[in-house]
Amino acid sequence: MTEVVRVDAARPNHEDISRAAECLRRGGLVAFPTETVYGLGVHALDRAAVRRLFQAKGRPANDPLIVHVSSFAQVAPLVVALPEQAALLAARFWPGPLTLVMRRAPSVPLEVTAGLETVAVRVPAHPVARALLLAAALPVAAPSANLFSRPSPTRAAHVLDDLDGRIDMVVDGGPTQGGVESTVLDLTVDPPAVLRPGAISVEMLRTVIPAVRLGVVRATADGRAAIASPGLLSKHYAPRAPITIYQGEPAAVRPALLAAAREAVAAGLRVGVLATTEDMPMLSQVPVVIAELGSEYDVEAIAARLYAALRELDAAQVDLILARDVSQDAGLWRAVRDRLHRAAARVTAID
């Protein structure tokens, strides 16, 4: 049985948090909201519990977890040495959606790091996550609280859709704000490299460490983008129906997408469209299932809605999903594009 505990996102009830913290201390699996997505927390130093977490998620053992702590002071015991860069970045961006990869201290189980000699650490900003970490007084390893390869959960209901009966508790603090997972920055290489783009953009990181670079992005045979990093498998964040992304000038892409939708509908398929607010008038011309992301001029709104929209289209049991790539090569857009392209089966360039 999975117990659901509803809390006020801004000021969670002390007793509820204490119970969730106690569950973590006893080796339980507790999902909780962070400012990005819901995490599935476990006592990071309890090897048996960490193995149960991998089982519950169906996650491959070669995909390392992020360790969450309540403050920068809690990082030192997890790493062999604290890089100067970590202190500078923490002072600027923690608590917040930035994960730092550093050299692992022997006390961090290899189950957490997937056998790596490095460990990923972050201090989340969400009041519920902060309260829970303080009450548990433990390092908490927490991947996103979804089944492996499903879109990350941005609401407690998403967590239950995937993991009801497989975990002990869900602390429901309502929808999360950020929507895409934290930026992962590798500090064990010189210069530091972004392994996963997120809300803390490379431009923001460069205001502290000018040399920061984007990790090596390679295109896979089928056109998807993939960053070379352990566990960053290209088949990630995906809904059940295959997504086709259309790239190019809006004036060319819109009619191409509309034609593809009409053709699929005529063939008897149920078509889902990941749409921006600006696409809505055009889509009224064809019977498709629409998941509206928000205005293409509002990247925060689109990031916050992306995973929920993918899950809505899954729930509507569409056969295929069409999307227009409205992303730009800067800031939070990079994270949105990264997630959309990872989820996609096909990218079609229209010219």
Selected binder of ligand TXA within 37, 136, 318, 335 (CB under 6 A): 37
Cβ of 117: how many Cβ atoms within 10 Å?
11
Give residues 251-310 in contact with ligand TXA (rule: CB under 6 A): none
Pairing between β-strand 289-294 and β-strand 271-276 as defined by DSSP bridges: parallel
65 binds ligand TXA (CB under 6 A): yes
Closer of 116 and 245 to ligand TXA (Cβ): 116
The binder of 298, among ligand TXA, Mg ion, none, by C-beta within 5 to 8 A per type, is none
Which range, of 23-31, 142-150, 204-212, 324-332, touches ligand TXA by CB under 6 A? 142-150
What whole-number distance in Å separates Cα of residue 307 and Cα of residue 27?
29
- Beta-carbon-side half-sphere exposure of residue 149 (alpha carbons within 13 Å): 9
What whole-number distance in Å separates Cα of residue 303 and Cα of residue 308?
10
Selected binder of Mg ion within 85, 113, 144, 177 (CB under 5 A): 144
What whole-number distance in Å separates Cα of residue 217 and Cα of residue 30?
33
Closer of 86 and 264 to ligand TXA (Cβ): 86
Question: Which residues sit opposite 3 in a β-bridge?
Answer: 169
70 binds Mg ion (CB under 5 A): no
66 binds ligand TXA (CB under 6 A): yes
Who contacts 351 (Cβ-Cβ below 8 Å, separation ≥6)?
Answer: 248, 249, 252
Selected binder of ligand TXA within 7, 30, 89, 116 (CB under 6 A): 116
Min CB(345)–ligand TXA separation in Å: 20
Contact 274, 294 (CB under 8 A): no
Which range, of 22-30, 88-96, 97-105, 274-282, touches ligand TXA by CB under 6 A? 97-105
What whole-number distance in Å separates Cα of residue 109 and Cα of residue 160?
28
Closer of 237 and 246 to Mg ion (Cβ): 237
196 binds ligand TXA (CB under 6 A): yes
Min CB(350)–ligand TXA separation in Å: 31
Edge-to-edge strand ranges of the sheet holding 320-324:
289-294, 271-276, 320-324, 243-247, 346-349
Residues that bind ligand TXA (CB under 6 A): 34, 36-37, 39, 63-66, 97, 99, 101, 113, 116, 118-120, 124, 142-144, 181-182, 184, 195-196, 229-232
